Structure 1
Amino acid sequence: MFGLFKTYDVHMCSEVKGVLTLDGSPLGGIVVNRYLKFAYKLEKEDQTITNQDGSFYLPEVKIQSKIPGDMFSQESTFQLITVNYSDKSYELWRSKFPGLVELSEYKKKLSCLNGDLSSEKVNFAFQNDTDENLEFSASSICRWENDFEVYQINDDTDYFKDL
């Protein structure tokens, strides 16, 4: 019966820690929104407010679900963390988290989600420690010194117009 009546532990998101700035100056009192959607069905939303030094924290999210017992389920979680400032929305994090258990690669990135609103949003790859041939990807205005390979800058330039 594929475990249709069994309940599974599902990790949706690691704890999130970060600092929000604008041109290097901390932004206090800004709402940070997190939206999670598991298997295109179960949704979880929460938010926090940045401290005066721009820092913020969101706890780890785990749920119980019967969905992984369904042989047609998509065992991934869509993760989106945003802020709104001066009538504009900024993506601190957008990714598709694979599987049911916490991955150290995602945990590392989300533990230092430091973003400056003056930064361009980029798509980037980061290492998959389990399978070196399959990198993880995300988009963000945040930057990391290590394990951060930008593969697309989100701007309106048509780089292929002359082809």
Structure 2
Amino acid sequence: MTPAVNGRVTLNGQPLSNLEVIYSLTYGDEHKLTARTDEQGYFSFPEKVIESNLPSKLFDETRVFQEIFVEWNNQNYTLWYTVLPGITSEKVVEEKLAKLECDLTHPEKEYHFDRQDGTDFTQGVFSICNFE
């Protein structure tokens, strides 16, 4: 399952309204959801249960590719891109996706968030959003 997403898209701090936001989830098959920003630039997606037609394997290395992006002035902007290690969501991913604050003037950065699964691994994310 992927968590609900809530975010806002701005340009130099000013909200961008009626902008199409695309949420792509790939686990075997690609699933695309779309939303539009409101007058204040806010958008949201509900949580989604991921199902697959892939056969079960004993040593399956399940990965879920998660991407949220917008196109503005013929350019794509990555609001969120990560590869999840399985079909269950990481707590840190849920927390970050609950409040995306994305300004199209910000450069895309790579972030590494501490996972809370008892390992020393981090969750890598590419995004123009501000997480600091």
Tell me the TM-score normalised to structure 1 length: 0.76
- Is residue 27 of structure 1 aligned with residue 16 of structure 2? yes
CA displacement, residues 12-64 of structure 1 (integer Å, 9 cap, x when unaligned): x21110010000000100000011111xx221111100000000001111033
Structure 2 equivalent of residue 36 of structure 1: 25
Instruction: Name the amino acid aligned to 1:71.
Output: L
- Report if the CA contact (8 A) 1:20-1:55 is conserved: yes
Alignment gaps of 5+ in structure 2: none
Q: Which residue of 1 aligns with 2:5?
A: 16
Q: Distance in 2 between matches of 1:91 and 1:66?
A: 28
Percent identical among aligned pairs is 29
* Match in the other structure for 1:155: none
Q: Which of 117, 127, 131 is the matching residue for 1:140?
A: 127
- CA-CA distance at 1:102 after TM superposition: 2.3
Could you tell me which runs of 5 or more consecutive residues in structure 1 were left unpaired when the two chains were aligned.
1-10, 146-163
Structure 1 runs of 4+ with >6 Å offset: none
Of structures 1 and 2, the larger Rg is shown by 1
RMSD, matched Cα: 1.5
Which residue identity does 1:28 align to in structure 2? S
Q: Does 1:60 align with 2:47?
A: yes
1:35 maps to amino acid: S
Q: Distance in 1 between matches of 2:21 and 2:117?
A: 31
Determine which of 34, 38, 44 is the counterpart of 1:47: 34
Name the CA shift for 1:68/1:142 in 2 (closer, same or farther; >3 Å): farther
Give SS of 2:49's match: strand
- TM-score in terms of structure 2 length: 0.92
- Render the CA deviation track for 1:78-120: whole Å, top value 9, x for unaligned: 0111000011110000000111222211100111111000000
- 2:98 paired with 1:111: yes
Deviations for 1:130-161, whole angstroms, at most 9, x for unmatched residues? 2352111110000113xxxxxxxxxxxxxxxx
CA distance in 2, matches of 1:65, 1:35: 15
Change (3 A) 1:89 1:66: closer
Alpha-carbon distance, 1:66 to partner: 5.5
